Every structure is written in C-alpha cells, then in structure tokens.
C-alpha cells in the first residue's frame, strides 16, 4: 500500500530519472515514476505530496519536446524542476529559454544568492553537476532567482507563493556536493513529508504482490551467484518457498574457481530448490569468432533464456522466470518509460531477451540500484559474503575480453584477475572499492624477459568507487600495490607482458569496457 506521503517523479527522458527516485527513497520517502505524458487527472487521483520533473535530452522549444498540461502548476503541491524540468517551468509559465553561449557538462561552482528553505545547511559556494546546452534567460513572472553559476545566471529560482522550485543542475548525482541536503530540504521543509519508507516496507509489499501475481504456479530463477540474483531469489523464496526453483547456469565465463564456489554456496542456501547446469561448451561454440560487444551480449542473453526454457520444460509446469535485473541495466539498455533516453549498451538480461520467450518475466529488483539491493539482502538475512561481493556482469568475462573469446584468452584473464582481486583483499582495498576487475586487451606489445624479446598481451586493471553504478570515480590505489600486482601478473601469467591502470571516471566512460 502506498504511504500517505509520497513523491511522484515525471520522467522527461533523463538517464538519471530513476536515480532521483532512489535518492528520495534513500531519505525515507516513498517515490514513484510516471511518464511525462501521464494525464493530469491521473496525477491528481494519485494525490502525491510533491512532484519532481526530471531532466531530459530535448530542448523545450523542439517541436516534439515532451511537456505537461500547464494546469499541473495549479495543483497546490510543491514541484521541483531539474535541468530540463526547470527550463520547462520557464517555457510554460512565460519565461525565456535559449541555447546557452557556453554549454556546461560536468562540475560547476554554484553560489546561493538568497537564503531559502531549499538551501538550508548548504554552503554559500558549492560544487554542482551540470549537463545542459540550454539555459533560462528570463525567469517567469513571480519567480525569484536564488542561485547562479558563471554560465547559468538563473541556475536556481523559486515562486514561493506556488512552491515551484527550478534547478539547472542535478542534485540527484553524487558529484553535486550538497545534492542530498537539497533533496532532503525539498522533502521535509518544502513538502513536509514524513520518513516512512524502508527495505522492510519493500519486502512486505513485494512479497504480497508476488503471492497475488503468481499464486500456486511454479517459478524458475536465473541464479548467477552475484548479489542481484541472490537477493532476487531470496525475496521470491520468502514469498513462494518450495514453488521456487533456482537454476545456476555455468556458462564457462566466470572467474577462477567461481563456478564451484557458487554451486557450493547456493546448494546449501536453497537445498533441493537449487539446480546446476553445465553449459560452458554451448556458450563457447555460440561465441566462436564473435568480436562485437553488442553481439556478445545478445548471444549470451538469448542462450541463457534457451537454457532456462529447457530447464523449465524438464521441471514441467514452469511459467515464470525470475531475474535479478537492476535499474542501471535497464536505463543503459533502453528507455523503459517511453522517454527519449539514449541506449548506452545492451545488457544481456534486458535487450538480449528473445522475442519468442516462452516464460513470463518476474524482475522484483528492476526498480532498484545496487546499494538498495544490498540493504534489501541484509534485511532478508543473506550472508555478508554474498551481499558484499563486487558487481559482476551477467555475460561474465566475455565482456572483459576485448575481441574474440577463446579458451586461451579466458585462461589468461582468469589468472590475471585472480591475482588482482587477491592482492586487493590482502591489502584491505577490496572493501574500499565498489568494483574491481581486469580486462584483456587485444593489444600485443614488445617486452623483454631475461635475455629474450616477447610480443605478448596487455592487461588493464579497473577499480572504481560508486554508490549506485550511475556515476563512478576511479580508485587511487597506492603505487606500491599497483607495482606488486603488475609484477605478479607479468611474472606469473605467461602471455602477459604489460599491465596498465584505467583512470577514467563514469561519465564519460562506463565502468565495464564492453
């Protein structure tokens, strides 16, 4: 049941829309997302405590730009417009928006010009995250400018009489230093919400929905051994018990000894509900000669489903497939709500699904981010060794080998990755990073070992910190640690003679290389 206090977010196509919802829930307030085209009558019937307009890739003056019924501003509830959302305020209410002479993408210095409840406990000068090519030139009548940057003189404005706030920057992104405080101020000082949302609420709601939806049907769960699928399985198991069958498909693309470890862990956790399938040879054959990363992902996604369909037939009577899909997977693969978001990469469990799928999908984590999933796993009682693991892509090492996936290349990458992770654990850096892994590059270079010339492969090391996977910063690992890891890899892994370290943030890079 929806709490009395909740925030409705209208999606205008931003890559960060779900991140806004995550931030709101993180602060203890329930939130829902609806497309920008949601009829006003439906919005009114939902009775939200406040509204947030997301950003988006369009210009408000484009012919087909997404918009809202201007009557929405008469609902009498607080509304916060972010980036495109702020510009839409100006466009619809008589202000002026035009292309900015200086595009802003990245960090900017923001100055609070006037005290306001929205900026309570926010420093007068602070860093914010900008991503825009247009800017408000003239705010609408009744609005007061309360903040600015060098390139956005009206970076924050407000109409106090109607409780309408507009921000040119993105408070939902972790790079905005005071972003959490600003959203907290909007929720509790402007909207007067009460914090009443928690992982336990989510468990109770999801369990009830699963029982109502599935009834007495049998369910199969795609269990990879990672955090996402483990939590999804535990959540469904809480709802359905023995109706759930967890299937672990070993596609031969896992890290060193990982298949055996996953098999032992989850056979103990789920007992007779756990099923193991060795499909390594099948996946290897399907990937033979494939270089394009999108094609790899789609092949792996389809093959996964075929294996699960076969298992469902063997178990008989299975109609539902549970997957641990998270929202970062979804928003990087396509825009799920009809917004004009851009496809970044196709995730094997989203865009890779075949059109003739014979199982109905159950994705209980589809609206969540990684840190929320970990908190949910803890509330479900899962072991810290499971919920504390670094993220691992469903396509496995196939998308950490640039170029063809061969047994020889898999062996090289497994050994190098194992050395990297073991040294991170030994040094205490594993738990200080959000994700770390090795990538095998299709680059050979000249080296020397002893008195002999070598012409061998290159390994790239990647370690990042993040909260939700939407943004990430590279980890400043100690030089001594990197030197030790590099020395071990080049000495112990025959076929590798060069190691490099990736110092790219997300954005502009993605965390995985493919």
Residues with catalytic function? 83, 170, 172
Cα(410)–Cα(424) distance, integer angstroms: 21
Assigned token pair, 275: 């099923």
Residue 74: Cβ-neighbour burial (10 angstroms; 0-12, 13-18, 19+) = exposed
User: Closest by alpha carbon to 458, among 424, 493, 406, 505?
Assistant: 493
Q: According to DSSP H, which parts of 318-369 are helical? A: 327-333
- Residue 176's CB is within 10 A of a number of other CB atoms, namely 23
C-beta separation of 43 from 8 below 8 A: yes
Q: From the CA atom positions of the chain, what is the Rg in Å?
A: 25
Q: Does residue 507 have a cis peptide bond before it, meaning omega lies within 30 degrees of 0?
A: yes
Strand partners for 136:
97
DSSP strand pairing (96-112 vs 144-148)? antiparallel
Beta carbons within 8 Å of 506's beta carbon, 6+ residues apart: 464, 466, 470, 471, 472, 473
Among candidate residues 180, 490, 232, 485, the one with its CA nearest the CA of residue 361: 232
Distance from C-alpha of 116 to C-alpha of 190, rounded to nearest angstrom: 10
CB 16 within 8 A of CB 55: yes
The answer to whether 7 and 193 are in contact (CB under 8 A) is: yes
Q: Hey, which bits of 139-196 come out as E strands?
A: 144-148, 156-159, 164-167
Q: Pick the closest to residue 233 from 219, 224, 225, 221 (CA basis).
A: 221
């Amino acid at each position: 049941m929806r709490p009395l206090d909740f925030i409705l977010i209208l999606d205008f196509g931003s890559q960060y829309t779900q991140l806004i919802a995550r931030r709101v829930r993180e602060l203890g307030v329930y939130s829902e997302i609806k497309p920008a085209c949601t009829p006003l009558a439906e919005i009114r019937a939902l009775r939200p405590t406040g509204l947030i307009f997301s950003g988006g890739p369009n210009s408000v003056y484009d012919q087909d730009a997404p918009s809202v019924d201007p009557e929405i501003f008469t609902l009498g509830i607080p509304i916060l417009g972010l980036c495109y959302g702020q510009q839409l305020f100006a466009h619809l209410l008589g202000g002026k928006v035009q292309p900015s002479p200086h595009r802003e993408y990245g960090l900017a210095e923001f100055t609070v010009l006037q005290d306001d409840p929205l900026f309570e406990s926010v420093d007068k000068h602070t860093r914010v995250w900008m991503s825009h090519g247009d800017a408000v030139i003239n705010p609408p009548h009744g609005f007061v400018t309360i903040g600015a940057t060098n390139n956005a003189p009206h970076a924050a404005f407000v109409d106090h009489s109607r409780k309408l706030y507009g921000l040119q920057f993105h408070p939902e992104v972790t790079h905005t230093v005071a972003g959490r405080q600003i959203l907290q101020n909007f929720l509790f000082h402007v909207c007067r919400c009460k914090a009443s949302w928690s992982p336990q609420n989510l468990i109770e709601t999801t369990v009830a929905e699963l029982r109502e939806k599935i009834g007495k049907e049998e369910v199969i769960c795609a269990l990879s051994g990672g955090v996402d699928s483990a939590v999804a399985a535990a959540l469904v198991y809480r709802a359905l018990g023995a109706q759930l069958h967890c299937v672990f498909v070993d596609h031969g693309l896992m890290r060193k000894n990982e298949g055996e470890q996953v098999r032992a862990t989850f056979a103990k956790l789920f007992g007779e509900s756990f099923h193991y399938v060795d499909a390594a040879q099948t996946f290897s054959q399907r990937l033979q000669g494939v270089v394009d990363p999108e094609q790899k992902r789609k092949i792996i996604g389809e093959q996964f489903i075929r294996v699960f369909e076969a298992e469902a037939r063997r178990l008989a009577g299975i109609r539902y497939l549970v997957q641990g899909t998270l929202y970062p997977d979804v928003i990087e693969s396509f825009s799920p709500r009809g917004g004009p978001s851009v496809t970044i990469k196709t995730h094997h469990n989203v865009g890779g699904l075949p059109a003739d799928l014979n199982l109905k999908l159950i994705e209980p984590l589809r609206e969540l981010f990684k840190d929320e999933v970990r908190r949910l796993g803890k509330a479900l009682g899962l072991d810290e060794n499971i919920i504390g693991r670094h993220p691992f892509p469903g396509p496995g090492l196939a998308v950490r080998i640039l170029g063809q996936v061969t047994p020889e290349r898999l062996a090289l990458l497994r050994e190098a990755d194992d050395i990297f992770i073991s040294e991170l654990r030994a040094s205490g850096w594993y738990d200080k990073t959000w994700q770390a892994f090795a990538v095998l590059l299709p680059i050979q270079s000249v080296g020397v070992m002893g008195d002999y010339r070598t012409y061998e492969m290159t390994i790239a090391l990647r370690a990042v910190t993040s909260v939700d996977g939407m943004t990430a910063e590279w980890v400043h690992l100690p030089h001594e640690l990197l030197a030790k890891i590099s020395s071990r890899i080049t000495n112990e892994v025959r076929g590798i003679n060069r190691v490099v370290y990736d110092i790219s943030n997300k954005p502009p890079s993605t965390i995985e290389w493919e």
